[in-house]
Structure 1
Amino acid sequence: MGDYQFFVLSSLGLLTFIVVISAAILKKKLGIMHGMIISMFYGMNVGLTAGVLLGVTYQGDLFLSTILSMAIGVLAGSLCGVCFGTLSVVEGFMAGLMGGMMGAMVGEMIRVDQSINLIQIFLLLSVSTLFIIPILKTAKDSKVSTKKWMLKPLTLAAFTVLIVIGGDSIAERFEDQKSGQTKPAESHQRKGQTVVLETANMKYSKSLVVVEKDIPITLTLKNMDDIEHDIEIRSTAIKLISESLHNHGENKNMLHLHATPESTETLSFTITESGVYEFYCTIPGHKELGMVGQFIVS
């Protein structure tokens, strides 16, 4: 967790405090339906913001990023709903749960520079909750009697400056640190990418692997079990650079890497098209027991 993650999560924490206080002050002027709308809107946007942030931060560990994102979304939505009653708590809980899950999945599959733009959008949507609350409590036939209404757009503008402009410098450092392999593209292409998959207790160590197309990938299969395992991917987009002992060139559109018990095998390849490619163990019964995963190619 670096400065950018701290900045975004701290902004969400401060914003949640302000939203809850505002909702508590105005709850007598709002109905149950209004409370459900506010809780759902806020929980969903906080979940999406945290999800994209943590998804791209912990790329390769979707389970961790999803659990953390859902927890943040659920907490924000539920706290907002507490002010309006049980139904609003449930609405905020479910919206935060869904937002965190979807955000983490998006963050897992996109580049760092793309994630920063999405985080800014969702964070601004979260901030807009502060203006939805007074709008919902305003009667339909009310009229503007003072110029204090100008404070609302001015406050929104201030938050926009803080999040978009103030956060950009921090975001640039985050992008440099996290995506050193994607920002200097020429350097990344020269070095390639290394992926290590361990097998133990009939499982791969990773079920999701994020790589880039047209980049040399060195895949290492480290078999920790006392039985043999392998990994296979079938696609016309697979281009082998170096082959394993169990792939003698009979099928150029297939990657197959086999490891005997307690051994390590390596091969190199490239994937020429973006997409999602399933990998699995071809030993009878192993795929059915869960030895399956996906290469996500951007």
Structure 2
Amino acid sequence: MKYNELYISRKTFNKKDGLMGQYQIFILCSLGVLTLIVVILTFNFKRLLNLMNRMIISMFFGMNMGLTVGLLLGSTFQGNLFYSTILSIAIALLAASLSSISFGIMPILEGLMAGLMGGMMGAMLGEMMKIEQSIFIIRIFLFLSISTVFLFPLLQNEKSQRIKNKVWLIKPVVLTCFIILFIVMETNLAQNQFNTLSKSSQSHAHHIENTSKNVKSDSKVISIQAQNMNYSQKEIIVENNQPVTLILENKDQIEHDIEINLPIRDNKSLKKHHGTNENSVHLHVKPKSTEQINFTPIASGIYEFICTIPGYKESGMVGQFIVNKSVAF
């Protein structure tokens, strides 16, 4: 495996790109406007809908709103599922309660439960997907959320479905024009988002290519990803007296490090890492960053590597670093 292939993974936002881009802000504002429209419709149609149809509308809007917001925030704040889940649930519950407030207690409860479930599921889906994949799914649930508007005339009582005058026909035409305009704007912003991701990925690959020049030809390259309070590798096996290049890629929005207490040969690259001495390897990585360190183990044995940040070891950031005796031929 080539060195730079160890780094290329799912595309995520780093701090320099900004967590909330234009696309995310546009979708959130659109959902806010949609919620306001649904609130107005609930006041106008509440006397034209029976209890069952009110509950259907509340559940439909709450679920799709929760899924849309959850996917959006889950993919934006990847690596911090708790934060994205809580924020998604809060927004979905607020939208569901406002849109059902004039429908009565039962529709409000239906909307709140649907928003709660939608926010949780959406955040989990967004955490697991690449951003370009999540945008495709966001479009689907965004369309379903907008479709709530069409439920009001479809579900109203039969006695109220008669068209009083021809002016009423203008409404769906105007609504269709607004939807087309919205789709055009959303598509342009999504394309800009893809372009930003592509440039970020190319810049990251260029950085990796430059960094790879520091790796010795006889060095064993070990790549570890830190994500969701876990290391991607729990067991590392190397040979005694063999140069090692340890790469730690932090995919989370919080800081991580790795420390191995073992005898090593003095190496100039170790001196820049705080806390590193002749019997310890310590590598600290900032959020959404990658660092590497070069060292040579000089004693065989089984050593433990951990994240030294308080509580992280107990959460699962621990593993074994095994140094085998070198075989002489």
Question: Which of the five TM-score ranges fits, normalised by the shorter chain?
Answer: 0.5 to 0.7
Structure 2: how far apart are the matches of 1:121 and 1:163?
A: 14
- Residue of structure 2 equivalent to 1:264: 282
Match of 1:124 among 143, 160, 182: 143
Match of 1:43 among 59, 62, 65: 62
Structure 1 pair 218–92 and aligned structure 2 pair: CA distance change class (3 A)? same
Which letter maps to 1:233?
Q
- Residue of structure 2 equivalent to 1:219: 224
Structure 1 pair 149–117 and aligned structure 2 pair: CA distance change class (3 A)? farther
Structure 1 pair 232–110 and aligned structure 2 pair: CA distance change class (3 A)? closer
- Contact kept, 8 Å, 1:56 with 1:107, in 2: the verdict is yes
Percent identity of the aligned residues? Answer: 42
1:139 aligns with 2:139: no
Structure 2: how far apart are the matches of 1:19 and 1:260?
A: 60
- Residue of structure 2 equivalent to 1:16: 35
Match of 1:105 among 124, 138, 156: 124
Structure 2: how far apart are the matches of 1:290 and 1:83?
A: 46
SS at match of 1:248: strand
Cα shift readout 1:155-204 (whole Å, capped 9, x = no counterpart) = 4532432332111111222233346455x5xx7566559xxxxxxxxxxx
Cα shift readout 1:24-66 (whole Å, capped 9, x = no counterpart) = 1110121221111111100111111111111111111111111
Aligned length: 232
- Residue of structure 2 equivalent to 1:276: none
- Residue of structure 2 equivalent to 1:247: 237
Structure 1: how far apart are the matches of 2:231 and 2:163?
A: 68
The alpha-carbon deviation at position 231 of structure 1 amounts to: 4.7
Structure 2: how far apart are the matches of 1:122 and 1:149?
A: 28
Query: Which residues in structure 2 correspond to 1:27-42 (within 5 Å)?
Result: 27-42=46-61
TM-score where L is the length of structure 2: 0.59
Query: Which residues in structure 2 correspond to 1:1-298 (within 5 Å)?
Result: 1-139=20-158, 147=166, 150-151=169-170, 153-178=172-197, 180=199, 184=202, 218-219=223-224, 231=231, 233=233, 247-248=237-238, 259-260=260-261, 264-265=282-283, 289-291=314-316
Which letter maps to 1:219?
I
- Contact kept, 8 Å, 1:50 with 1:100, in 2: the verdict is yes
SS at match of 1:60: coil
The alpha-carbon deviation at position 217 of structure 1 amounts to: 8.1
TM-score where L is the length of structure 1: 0.64
Structure 1 pair 79–141 and aligned structure 2 pair: CA distance change class (3 A)? closer
SS at match of 2:224: strand
- Contact kept, 8 Å, 1:78 with 1:89, in 2: the verdict is yes
Larger radius of gyration: 2
Cα shift readout 1:225-261 (whole Å, capped 9, x = no counterpart) = xxxxx95636xxxxxxxxx9x6236xxxxxxx86349
Q: Which runs of 4+ in 1 moved over 6 A?
A: none
Cα shift readout 1:254-284 (whole Å, capped 9, x = no counterpart) = xxx863496525879xxxxxxxxxxx97xxx
- Residue of structure 1 equivalent to 2:278: none
Q: Which runs of 5+ in 2 are unaligned?
A: 1-19, 210-220, 240-257, 263-274, 276-280, 284-290, 294-304, 319-329
Q: Which runs of 5+ in 1 are unaligned?
A: 194-215, 222-229, 235-243, 250-256, 269-279, 294-298
